[in-house]
Structure 1
Amino acid sequence: MAPPHLLIVDDDAGIRDLLQGYLHAQGYGATAVGDGKAMWQALREGTFDLVVLDLMLPGDNGITLCRKLRESHDLPVIMLTAHWQASERVAGLDAGADDYVMKPFDPVELLARIRAVLRRATPSTKAEPRMLRFNGWRLDTRVREMTSPGGRVVSLGGSDYRALRELLASPHRPVSRDHLVDQVYGRDRAPNDRAIDVCISRLRQYLDDDARKPSLIRTLRNQGYVLTADVHADA
């Protein structure tokens, strides 16, 4: 399967070059253009999975372009904005944007948002595995129960289960806090609150992972969390 191909629309050449190079390095296809006219031409000539759209552009601004996109294309849109006013962020979401990222931004954060939006936009074609095994533990996905190597059963609440599933989906790879907040809680929670950290703390307790020096769910500074165990799925 071909990797997702992203269309970046930003009049700042430095941001275009930064994002295009970073996304290529992460295995994504990326085309970068500087305004709405070039965006429409790119859409006529290519196929894309998501648009990263700057709010402030020459000619039609990002909100106008997003609204027009919604009329003709079924593409997820992430808005880039340097404005902190809630009214403009709300206007972008009302125009059909799936998410927004504030400038200046960390490309790692933007990539986490891109992954989350693509996941929500793309229906899964795989059946949910009945059992996931990791580090001697078993997770029954149908009843949301974990069984320890010694046979102890732990029932998981909704947020704990969703957080664990995100970590199990990417073993040995960092999962950002922002991505976890988005997938576990949705857009209603602020990314800078501590709810996801409390959730991870509970999971460590369930998994007998020493909170002072965790080895199974490790914290990576400025990156998020990583599950250090191999994961095996059973139908």
Structure 2
Amino acid sequence: MHLFYQPDVQTVPYLTDDESRHAVKTLRLGVGDTIAVTDGHGNRFSAVITKADARQCAFRITGQQSTPPRPFSIRLCVAPTKNLDRIEWFVEKAVEVGIERISFFFGQHSERRVLKLERLEKIAVAAMKQSLQSWLPQIDEAVSFDNLLKTIGEGERFIAHLPERSADTDEPPAHLLRAATSGGEYAVLIGPEGDFSERELQAATTAGFRMVTLGANRLRTETAALVACQILTILNT
């Protein structure tokens, strides 16, 4: 059954413009065909098309199924990359793997200083539908690093960073897989291409973030973010 997204499904009995075109023009669905519609908040509705209009495809709800939130939650806080394609790739894959919230921030070493969310939100919707999920992650506008820290309170807080070892006796930070506990509410900071500044590392530590690694290899920003998402998902599987 084809899955569509309509955030106001219980009060608006037709698909959005984009979804209507996809249903009628691309999938060639017609009156009487059955579809599934999610509101992105855990609810999925069975429906029957009553008007196959590419501008406004109407439907009638025939059933409802609710999916509870996961017993853990992942919030990744990422500095957007200079190449926007790479951050788009991350959003798509993170949604497919499963994530509750994506927050963007501009750090001291960030090369990109402008980020528009409209396309990223469309990518997230498409990834949610492709992976047959009923929860659409929250995507936050990009803010400064300092302002981001103010929005993160409870839960397990981590900052992914692999510092240079100054002596043979220096112990590297713990791996995220060993530092996190299952069933948690996680927030993970992933730095820009130029990494976090020393001031930002200190500010995060002061705010209660624990430094962790994602392995011995140096990872690109979008790769590190996806790896963190997958690690926490595996921990809770």
Q: Answer yes or no: same fold by TM over 0.5.
A: no
> Which structure shows the bigger proportion of residues in helix conformation?
1
> Which structure shows the bigger proportion of residues in strand conformation?
2
Relative contact order (C-alpha < 8 Å, sep 6+): which is higher? Answer: 2
